[in-house]
Structure 1
Amino acid sequence: MPKQIVDQLQRVINLKQRPNRIISLVPSQTELLCYLGLKDSIVGITKYCVHPSDLKKSVSVVGGTKQIHLDRIVSLNPDIILCNKEENTKEIVQVLEGICTVHISAIFTIEDSLELISQYGKIFNKAAEALLLIRNIQKDANEFDNFIKNEPILKVAYFIWKNPWMVAGNNTFIDYLLQINKFENEYANKDRYPEIQLSKKSVSKDVDLVLLSSEPYPFKEIHKEELRAYYPKAKIILVDGEMFSWYGSRLVKAFEYFKKLHLDLQDIQIY
C-alpha cells in the first residue's frame, strides 16, 4: 500500500511499497536497522558501519560517510538510501536522489532519535518492533533521570580530535547527552565541532572533567598526559564515543554506561 513519510528535514517521501534493498550511509542507523530485524534487507553500508561486526562479510561497502563510490551504489540497485544531515554532505544527497528515494535524519535530542525509530518502523513495516524499542529507551531514560537528579553539575570539556584539537560544542547530539548527564559543556558557546587553541591562559580553570572520546579520534592514555598541562585541576578520563554520539538502538546500552560512568566518577572522588 502506498504511504507518505515526512523525513527529519521535512522532505516528503512517497513510497509505493516497502523498500527491500537498503543502503545505509550512517553507522548508528545501520545498527538500528539490524536491531529492527532488517539485516537481510541491507545491501550497502559505509566502512564505518562496524556494528554488527559481521555485517561487512555479507554486505557491500560503498565508501565512507563523506566520500562514496557512486558506481558501486548504482550497481546495488537500492530501493532507498538512508542519510543524515550531519554525517553526509548536501552534494552527496543531491547525487543520490537521482538514483532512488533518499531519507534524511537530523538528530539533536533523544526525541529526535525516537522519531527516527518510529519513521523506520513505518517505512519498513516494523512498527511493532520500533514501538517496543521506543518504550525501552523511554523507560531507561526515565530511570537514568531519577538516578542523576541529585548529582552535582560538573563543568566538562569533551574532546573529539587532536591535531588540531577539536571539541563538541552546542547544537550537537553529544552536547545534548552531556546535558542529561548534568555535565555543563565548557564549549557550549561554540557551534558544532570547533577547533580550539590550547594554552594555559585560554583554558578555564573551572573545568572539573575532561572527556576524551574513543571516536572519531582514538584517544589513548598517553593523550591524558598532554592535556594535563592545560587542565591541571581537572580529572581526565577516556570515554566510549559511541555511547555519546550514536543514536537509535545504541541508546538501549547508553544509559547503563552513563550510570557506570557516574559511579566511577564517585570512586575517583570527582564529586
Structure 2
Amino acid sequence: MRVVSLVPSLTEAVAATVPELLVGATDWCVHPAGLDVARVGGSKYPDLDRVRALRPDLVLLNVEENRRVDADALTAAGVPVLVTYPRTVPQALDELAGVLAALGVTGEPGWLTDARRAWAAPVAEAGTRRAVVPVWRRPWVVLGGDTFAGDVLRRLGVVNLYDDDPERYPRPDLDALRARRPDLVVLPDEPYAFTATDGPDAFPGVDCALVSGRHLTWYGPSLAEAPALLTAQLSTLV
C-alpha cells in the first residue's frame, strides 16, 4: 500500500508505525524529524497533481486541516481518501486505531497503547482556571466548543470561557476577550507562533501560559506525553 498524508499528526502516526507505506506528506509534516518522503505542498493548498503522481492507494485527510474541495477532487480522480474528524480525546484514539486498521496494521502499536494509558484517568473536575485560548491573532481567533483541543483542556481541568459559543472558532475582538475576565490565557505555539510577550501585552495582569500546539491539537504519538507536558506548561506562567 502507498499512503499520502495531508495531516501532520497522521503523518507522524503512520511514520511511527508503518513508515514503509508513507510515500508523500505536506510541507508542514515535520515529525518525525528527518522524514524523507515526497512533499506535496501545504495542508490547505496541496498540489493535487503531485499527490496523484505518487499513485497513492489512500490519502489521509482531516476536516479541519484540509479543504472539502481537495477531498472531492481526489475522489473524482479515483483516489481513495480517509477523512478524520475527532472532537474528543476518546474519538481521536479510536480514529487513530481505525486509520491504522485501514493500513493493514494488526495489533495496537506501543505508542497508541501508551496514549490510551496516559488519558485513562477520569476527567478532571472543572477547575478554577477560567481561560481563553487564542489560536490566532490579527484577527483574534479563539478555541470554541466541540473541538479536540477544547476536550484536551477540559480533561486537564481548564474551563474554556468560549466552550458554549455556537462557533467552533469564534473571532471576538480584543475588548470582547478581555470582557470575559479570564484568569488564564492559554497560548499555543502553533498554528500561530505566540511568544512570551503576546499574552502579557494583550492581557495585562492576567496569567498567561505558553503551551505546545502540537501536544494540544495533534492526535498521534504525541498524545502519549501530552497530559504530563501540558499540565507542566499550564502551571508555568510567562
**Change in CA separation of 1:77 and 1:117 when aligned onto 2, cut-off 3 Å:** same
| Counterpart selection for 1:31 from 2, 9, 12 | 12
Name the residue aligned to 1:17: none
- Where 2:107 maps in the other structure, the secondary structure is helix
| Counterpart selection for 1:164 from 139, 147, 153 | 139
1:174 Cα deviation after fit: 1.1
Aligned residues: CA RMSD? 2.1
Query: Within 2, Cα distance between the matches of 1:215 and 1:261?
Result: 15
Name the residue aligned to 1:74: 52
1:40 Cα deviation after fit: 2.2
Query: Within 2, Cα distance between the matches of 1:134 and 1:41?
Result: 18
1:262 Cα deviation after fit: 5.1
Name the residue aligned to 1:51: 31
Deviation readout 1:165-213 (Å, 9 max, x if unpaired)? 11111111111111101111111132211211112796222x1100111
1:102 Cα deviation after fit: 0.6
Name the residue aligned to 2:102: 123
Query: Within 2, Cα distance between the matches of 1:223 and 1:133?
Result: 34
| Counterpart selection for 1:259 from 228, 231, 235 | 231
**Change in CA separation of 1:210 and 1:202 when aligned onto 2, cut-off 3 Å:** closer
**Structure 2 unmatched ranges of 5 or more:** none
Identity of aligned residues (%): 29
Name the residue aligned to 1:91: 69
Query: Within 1, Cα distance between the matches of 2:195 and 2:131?
Result: 18
2:188 partner letter: S
Query: Within 2, Cα distance between the matches of 1:213 and 1:60?
Result: 28
The answer to whether the aligner puts 1:241 opposite 2:213 as a matched pair is yes
Q: Which has the larger radius of gyration?
A: 1
Normalising by the residue count of structure 1, what TM-score does the alignment of the two structures yield?
A: 0.80
Q: Is the 8 A contact 1:157 1:186 kept in 2?
A: yes
The answer to whether the aligner puts 1:184 opposite 2:124 as a matched pair is no
Deviation readout 1:197-238 (Å, 9 max, x if unpaired)? 112796222x11001110011011221232124xx3x20121
| Counterpart selection for 2:93 from 110, 114, 133 | 114
1:65 Cα deviation after fit: 1.2
- Where 1:194 maps in the other structure, the secondary structure is coil
Name the residue aligned to 2:169: 193
1:69 Cα deviation after fit: 0.8
The answer to whether the aligner puts 1:140 opposite 2:112 as a matched pair is no
Query: Within 1, Cα distance between the matches of 2:101 and 2:197?
Result: 46
- Where 1:142 maps in the other structure, the secondary structure is coil
Aligned pairs (5 A) from 1:221-240: 221-229=196-204, 232=205, 234-240=206-212
Query: Within 2, Cα distance between the matches of 1:252 and 1:92?
Result: 31
Query: Within 2, Cα distance between the matches of 1:212 and 1:262?
Result: 10
1:242 Cα deviation after fit: 1.0
Q: Is the 8 A contact 2:185 2:209 kept in 1?
A: yes
Name the residue aligned to 1:214: 189
Q: Is the 8 A contact 2:210 2:233 kept in 1?
A: no
Query: Within 1, Cα distance between the matches of 2:133 and 2:143?
Result: 6
**Change in CA separation of 1:177 and 1:201 when aligned onto 2, cut-off 3 Å:** closer
Query: Within 2, Cα distance between the matches of 1:115 and 1:166?
Result: 28
**In the comparison of the two structures, how many residue pairs are matched?**
236
2:220 partner letter: G
**Change in CA separation of 1:78 and 1:187 when aligned onto 2, cut-off 3 Å:** same
**Change in CA separation of 1:152 and 1:171 when aligned onto 2, cut-off 3 Å:** closer
Q: Is the 8 A contact 2:142 2:169 kept in 1?
A: yes
**Change in CA separation of 1:201 and 1:250 when aligned onto 2, cut-off 3 Å:** closer
Query: Within 1, Cα distance between the matches of 2:177 and 2:192?
Result: 25
